[in-house]
């Protein structure tokens, strides 16, 4: 993939919690316009890496470069403004708001006046409804988020992430705890958005999903990259088998 533009690079990234080296010298490259995957056994540092890259936690050392810009240590809102949308491993929806209200809350109005302005509000509602249809939960728009299933909440979370039209979307375990038909819906949506130009970085435990969805996969073990390449290359790498089987 040497000619493909790079969207995200980390160099010797490290983050420890007490004596635990969660991310331990991660040097990685992810590509623009692709569906990138990050896999690894439980506890291999994927979520910590994800949180460093999205600015949720500050790495102890190393660098993070996005679109060629050094964004190490930037706050999440600044990274988001630089073009990164994100979704959370733990579902973050407002439980007592309706599905539609959750979608509207994802959009930061430029000003209160703009928000109150009817035309703007109408456009935002239309967009929210179109997005709900796309993620397949438009029939639930008036339900409170706490009353819909966990899988539907994940779809709501994905939909609200997409409300701001981010060019780069990072998802941490979008399929975790989601039933197979909803996983398939997520996969279809990711493929569609990718064909429209959205870059993805998907951290996932579900190997089948990652292998069928991703163009390029980075494999972590013990906080660092042990392999990278296309699904075929990664799957036949003995280091990867070893990490997963724990030999
Ligand atoms: P993964 O997402 O690949 O399962 P994590 O990044 O969640 O891995 O965890 C990597 C290691 O760091 C694990 O040993 C985990 O217990 C530890 N860890 C993660 N977050 C914290 C934290 N906030 N405090 C202490 N240890 C943590
Ligand atoms: Mg994790």
pLDDT in tens, 11-38: 999 999 999 999 999 999 999 999 999 9
Closest residue to atom 17 of ligand 1, CA basis: 22
pLDDT at 34: 97
Of the residues 165, 180, 205, the one at which a domain ends = 165
194 CA to middle of ligand 2, Å? 23
Burial of 108 (0-12, 13-18, 19+ CB in 10 A): exposed
Task: Mark whether 45 and 10 lie in a shared domain.
Answer: yes
Of the residues 141, 165, 189, the one at which a domain ends = 165
**Cα–Cα distance for residue pair 46/217, rounded to 1 Å:** 13
Ligand number nearest to the C-alpha of 22 = 1
232 CA to middle of ligand 2, Å? 23
Instruction: Identify the bridge partners of residue 203 per DSSP, sorted by sequence position.
Output: 38, 172
pTM reported for the whole predicted model: 0.90
Q: What is the pLDDT of residues 146-205, one digit of tens each?
A: 999 988 998 898 898 888 888 899 988 888 888 888 888 889 999 999 999 999 999 987
User: Model confidence at 2, in pLDDT bands (50, 70, 90)?
Assistant: low
For a mutational test of ligand 1's pocket, the pick from 22, 56, 172, 205, i.e. the residue with the most ligand atoms closer than 8 A to its C-beta, is: 22
Task: Mark whether 16 and 67 lie in a shared domain.
Answer: yes
Task: Mark whether 242 and 175 lie in a shared domain.
Answer: yes
**How far is the CA of 125 from the CAs of 85, 102, 145, 189, in angstroms?**
20, 11, 17, 20
Structure-token pair, residue 220: 């972590």
Q: Which domain holds residue 157?
A: 92-165
Closest residue to atom 25 of ligand 1, CA basis: 17
pLDDT at 154: 87
Task: Mark whether 43 and 78 lie in a shared domain.
Answer: yes
Task: Mark whether 197 and 235 lie in a shared domain.
Answer: yes
1 CA to middle of ligand 1, Å? 30
Task: Mark whether 112 and 149 lie in a shared domain.
Answer: yes
**How far is the CA of 10 from the CAs of 69, 112, 114, 217, 240, in angstroms?**
11, 38, 38, 15, 20
Q: What is the pLDDT of residues 47-83, one digit of tens each?
A: 999 999 988 899 999 999 998 899 999 988 788 777 6
3-state secondary structure of 202: strand
Task: Mark whether 122 and 178 lie in a shared domain.
Answer: no
Ligand 1 site residues, Cβ closer than 6 angstroms? 17, 20, 22, 40, 42-48
User: Model confidence at 86, in pLDDT bands (50, 70, 90)?
Assistant: low
Atom of ligand 1 nearest to the CA of 40: 3
**Cα–Cα distance for residue pair 203/242, rounded to 1 Å:** 20
How many domains does the chain fold into? 2
- Are 186 and 130 within 8 A, CB to CB? no
For a mutational test of ligand 1's pocket, the pick from 17, 201, 202, 224, i.e. the residue with the most ligand atoms closer than 8 A to its C-beta, is: 17
Residue 87 has pLDDT above 80, yes or no: no
- Are 160 and 171 within 8 A, CB to CB? no
User: Model confidence at 110, in pLDDT bands (50, 70, 90)?
Assistant: low
**Cα–Cα distance for residue pair 62/225, rounded to 1 Å:** 14
pLDDT at 111: 56
For a mutational test of ligand 1's pocket, the pick from 43, 51, 90, 225, i.e. the residue with the most ligand atoms closer than 8 A to its C-beta, is: 43
Task: Mark whether 224 and 196 lie in a shared domain.
Answer: yes
CATH code of the domain in which 208 resides = 3.40.50.300
- The total of other beta-carbon atoms located within 10 Å of residue 25's CB is 16
Sheet of strand 61-66, all strands in order from the earlier edge strand to the far edge: 20-31, 6-17, 61-66, 69-70
Atom of ligand 1 nearest to the CA of 49: 6
pLDDT at 4: 87
pLDDT at 90: 46
Of the residues 110, 139, 165, the one at which a domain ends = 165
């Amino acid at each position: 993939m040497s000619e493909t533009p790079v969207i995200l690079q980390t160099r010797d990234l490290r983050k420890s919690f007490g004596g635990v080296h969660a991310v331990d010298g991660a040097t990685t490259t992810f590509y623009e316009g692709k569906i990138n995957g990050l896999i690894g056994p439980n506890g291999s540092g994927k979520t910590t890496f994800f949180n460093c890259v999205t600015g949720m936690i500050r790495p102890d050392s190393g660098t993070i470069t996005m679109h060629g810009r050094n964004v190490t240590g930037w706050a999440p809102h600044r990274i988001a403004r630089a073009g990164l949308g994100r979704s959370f491993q733990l579902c973050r929806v407002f439980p007592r708001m309706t599905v539609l209200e959750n979608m509207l809350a994802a959009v930061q109005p430029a000003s209160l006046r703009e928000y109150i302005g009817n035309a703007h509000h109408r456009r935002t509602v239309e967009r929210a409804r179109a997005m709900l249809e796309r993620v397949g939960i438009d029939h639930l728009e008036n339900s409170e988020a706490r009353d819909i299933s966990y899988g539907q909440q994940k779809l709501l979370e994905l939909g609200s992430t997409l409300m701001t039209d981010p060019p780069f979307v990072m998802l941490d375990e979008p399929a975790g705890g989601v039933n197979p038909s909803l996983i398939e819906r997520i996969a279809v949506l990711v493929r569609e958005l990718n064909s429209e130009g959205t870059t993805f970085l998907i951290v996932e435990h579900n190997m089948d999903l990652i292998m069928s969805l991703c163009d390029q996969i980075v494999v972590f073990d013990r906080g660092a990259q042990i392999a990278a390449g296309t699904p075929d290359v990664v799957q036949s790498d003995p280091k990867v088998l070893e990490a997963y089987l724990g030999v």
